[in-house]
Amino acid sequence: MTERMLEVHALARHFSVRGGILPRRRPVLRAVDGVSFEVGRGQTFGLVGESGCGKSTLGRSILRLLEPTRGRVVLDGAEITGLDSAALKRQRKDMQMIFQDPFASLSPRRTVRQMLQEPLALHVPGSPARRVARVRELLDIVGLGQSALDRYPHEFSGGQRQRIGIARALAVEPKLVVADEPVSALDVSVQSQVLNLLADLQTEFGLSFVFISHDLAVVQHISHFIGVMYLGKLVETAPVDRIYAMPAHPYTRALLDAVPVAGGTRRIRRRALDGEPPSPLNPPGGCPFHTRCPEAMPICSRRVPRTIELEEHGRSHQVRCHLHDPDISQ
Amino acid sequence: MSNNDALLEVENLCVEFGDRRGAVRAVDRISFEVEPGRTLGIVGESGCGKSTTSLAIMGLLPRPAGRITAGAIRLSGTELAGLPENRMRRIRGAEMSMIFQEPMTALNPVYTIGAQMSAVVRRHAGLSRRAARRRALEMLERVGIPLAQRRLAEYPHELSGGMRQRVMIAMALSCRPRLLIADEPTTALDVTTQAQVLEQIKALQRDFDTAVVLITHDLGVVAETCDEVVVMYCGRMVERAPVEALFSAPRHRYTEGLIQAIPKIRTRRLTRLPVVPGSVPDLSELPPGCCFAARCAHADTHCLRRQPALERMGPSRVACFHPADAEPVR
């Protein structure tokens, strides 16, 4: 087993929702509801799920960009949850984020040089000359030329902007990077360039990634471990080769079936899942997936499934489904 | 070349944006036909001119910036280019309609679903108030909206993204148009919802014998829904082929690169994803020769100087001096 870099224990983030006439009875939205997983050093944990499943909220809660309601986050042995704001600020150096829309996360009025120097000035001691040298080095690392230095974000294409976003995240030499849909806004021909870059950087600097995406193909390529989220909960976690070959949760199987396949056998009738995810404000009782599950049993609407370990060769594969519970299904 | 069976014929269509001093050709000599009951896919990356082509067909180019500078668009023999707006308005909705990526931009937030749907059929199909209401209800049921009666009284914001897209489809097909243009209809949807929506479009197409033009960047969606495909790059048609031929034997180097670059679920993970190097050139600074030459591994000086013409190659047509031969790609 590789060395642990990130541990997430029973993390939860709830929102109280405004609405209704009675202000006292605010409904609670459990966007993230008791999520636990680990990421090894130099490894990628891919987090997949449909919109509204809580994957972005989870990503932000890990970095404490959103304050978790409950649970613990441990980065390289140091607990992140519970740090006061000054200590958290120092810790930020170790954990960075890459966003989906690089244009929205880059200031339109600042040059690449200014944007890359800022995190250095905050977190890395050194002379201005050394900072400039580091900025040049960063541009090389992400495959942008030195000519990028004094240009503004609007002068770059989508793929190049994402490279700037990556350079900024890497400037302070983080241990963990949470990447939230980093290639979803990019054209197909550019997506794979950025994915290859992220994989190279991981190898070179031993980075750990939490990679959030709705695209199962993208996640497969970049991840070592996969977690599938549904209505705020991880319903299945497994090593990447295993989950694509032997998905255990009916929801994971449905997600895989729904991916359109380019080329090869076309027009295979996809087994389309009925309906849409229920509102997280009012999740169904029992297993949250039972309302759409093609294999639902009577017990699924009554009892919340426990986590079942389907370990193989010492590699953890966890699923929350009654179908795999030896006490329930014979 | 006139095809008697074709419902829609687009011939050498050119669209320009901007004034004389700085005109940019967004669509450059595009030609295709679509027969009733068939689906033509137009694929390409952002800025390739695929949406502009669809807006030109619908007579919805933003004025005065965009205009058709050459070519013909015929719908069952009637020339649409240059038709006065009042006649165009009668054709839109009744004979051809369009669905967009983001249904919220096409639905009016202050009217109920029922009111908007009834207005469309009353205007274009001349139905009475009561018959229009019935048609609206029937269409909502056909696209698989549960509790359709109740939905009629709801406002767009009360529906989920997938529901809204289904309402758009119901509305677009409520007057039984002969041509449906769908511009990235499933891009904003989750995979499981995407599969359902594509199924709905196909089912309605079968029932009404509708011709469909599907604009998308997603080759997976193309493989599953289209009969014929046009690949666009920088406003030009680089390849046009029956869907089987496109995936089994792509001819243009750009098509080949795109197919290889799509992240797909694989049985064995690759260490590196194949990439198309570089990025799409700016339309205002197109090179004199083949617009893909700068990113193409097969380009020579000839490609840099001269524009290749579209030529027949088996069942395909391709604009390339060095097309791929008939070997299948992986």
Q: What percent of chain B has pLDDT over 70?
A: 97
Return the structure tokens found at B31: 């030609």
Mark yes or no for CB contact A240/B269 under 8 Å. yes
Mutation target vs A (from B101, B199, B264; most A CBs, 10 A cutoff): B264
Query: If pLDDT is split at 50, 70 and 90, which confidence band does B165 have?
Result: confident
Q: How many angstroms away from the CA of A224 is the closest CA of chain B?
A: 11
Residue B216 φ then ψ, to 5° = -160, 160
d(CA B72, CA B76): 12
Confidence of residue A62 (pLDDT cuts 50, 70, 90): very high
| Rounded CA separation A95/B199 (Å) | 43
CB contact under 8 A, A217 and B192: no
Tell me which DSSP letter residue A153 carries.
G
For B260, nearest residue in chain A (alpha carbons) = A189
Of the candidates A244, A262, A272, which has its C-beta nearest B199's C-beta? A272
Please compute the mean of the pLDDT values over residues B218-239 and round it to a whole number: 94
Domain carrying residue B294:
234-318
| Backbone phi, psi, residue B166, to 5° | -70, -35
User: Residue B224 belongs to a domain with what CATH number?
Assistant: 3.40.50.300
User: Å from A327 to nearest chain B CA?
Assistant: 31
Is residue A20 scored above 70 in pLDDT?
no
Task: Indicate whether A99 and A166 sit together in one domain.
Answer: yes
Alpha helix ranges (H) inside chain A? 55-62, 85-91, 102-105, 112-123, 128-141, 158-170, 188-205, 216-222, 240-245, 250-258
State ipTM.
0.79
Q: Residue A267 — very low, low, confident or very high, per pLDDT cuts 50/70/90?
A: very low
Phi/psi at A277 (5° precision): -55, 140
For residue B70, report the phi and psi dihedrals to the nearest 5 degrees. -160, 165
pLDDT at residue number B257:
92
Chain B partners within 8 Å of A201 (Cβ): none
Amino acid at residue number A155: E
Amino acid residing at B121? V
Same domain, B33 and B178: yes
For A66-90, how does the pLDDT look when each residue is reduced to its tens digit (9 = 90+)?
A: 999 999 999 999 999 989 999 999 9
Sequence length of chain A is 330
- Among candidates A50, A220, A262 on the partner chain, residue whose Cβ is nearest the Cβ of B220: A262
The pLDDT value recorded for residue A22 is 60
pLDDT, tens digit, 9 for 90 and up, residues A154-186: 888 888 899 999 999 999 999 999 999 999 888
Residue B272 lies in a domain: yes
Domain assignment of residue A226, given as a range: 4-230
Does B192 sit within 8 Å of A188, measured CB to CB?
no
Residues A225 and A276 in one domain: no
Q: Do A139 and A50 lie in a common domain? A: yes
Of A158, A199, A267, the CB nearest to B224: A267
Give, rounded to a whole angstrom, the gap between the first and last alpha carbons of chain B: 35
Residue B160's pLDDT is 82
| Last residue of one domain, picked from the residues B180, B209, B232 | B232
Number of domains in chain B: 2
**Closest-CA residue of chain A to B200:** A272
Residue B327 counted as domain residue: no
Could you tell me if B169 and B267 lie in one domain? no
Domain co-membership, B216 together with B247:
no
Chain A residue whose CA is closest to B258 = A189
- Name the closest residue on chain B to residue A245, using Cα atoms: B267
Q: Which residue of A has its CA nearest to B250?
A: A263
pLDDT for position A77: 94
Residue B114 lies in a domain: yes
- DSSP string of A174-228, one letter each residue: -SEEEEESTTTTS-HHHHHHHHHHHHHHHHHHT-EEEEEES-HHHHHHH-SEEEE
pLDDT of residue A270: 56
Q: Which of A160, A189, A244 sits opposite B265 (nearest CB)?
A: A244
At A306-315, the pLDDT tens digits run 999 998 888 8
Please write the tens of the pLDDT for every residue from A200-221. Answer: 999 999 999 999 999 898 999 9
Evaluate if residue A248 carries a pLDDT over 70: yes
Residues of A in contact with B263 (CB under 8 A): 191-192, 195, 215, 217-218, 220-221
DSSP string covering B219-274, please?
HHHHHHH-SEEEEEETTEEEEEEEHHHHHHS--SHHHHHHHHHS----SS--SS--
Residues in chain B closer than 8 A to A259 (CB atoms): 191, 220, 265
Q: What is the mean pLDDT of chain B?
A: 90
CA distance B39 to chain A (A): 13
Those residues with Cβ within 8 angstroms of residue A133's Cβ, 6 or more apart along the chain or in another chain: none
Helix/strand/coil for A113: helix
Distance from C-alpha of B98 to C-alpha of B93, rounded to nearest angstrom: 8
Tens-place pLDDT, residues B11-40 = 999 999 987 778 899 999 999 999 999 999
Residue A72: which CATH number? 3.40.50.300
Looking at the structure, tell me whether residues A153 and A28 fall in a common domain.
yes
CB-neighbour burial class of residue B124 (10 A; exposed 0-12, middle 13-18, buried 19+): buried
According to the model, what pLDDT value does residue A181 have? 92
What is the rounded average pLDDT for all residues in chain A?
Answer: 89
Please say if the pLDDT value at position B292 is more than 80.
yes
DSSP 8-state assignment for residue A312: B
Q: What is the pLDDT of residue B330?
A: 40
Question: Of A192, A255, A262, which has the smallest distance from its Cβ to B223's Cβ?
Answer: A262
> What mean pLDDT comes out for the span B274-295?
89
Does residue B302 share a domain with residue B241? Answer: yes
Rounded-to-integer distance, Cα B90 and Cα A256, Å: 43
Peptide bond into B64 cis (omega under 30): yes
Distance, CA of B19 to CA of B83 (rounded, Å): 22
Which tens digits make up the pLDDT trace of A85-137?
999 999 999 999 999 877 777 888 999 999 999 889 888 888 888 899 999 99
Same domain, yes or no: B214 and B120: yes
Ranges of beta strands (E only) in B173-235 are 179-183, 211-216, 228-233
| Together in a domain, B242 and B296 | yes
CB pairs under 8 A between A and B: 134
Residue A78 lies inside a defined structural domain of this protein: yes
Is A266 among the domain residues? Answer: no
Q: How many domains does chain A have?
A: 2
Residue A244 maps to a domain: no
Residues B263 and A195: beta-carbon distance below 8 Å: yes
- Give chain A positions within 8 Å (CB) of B249: none
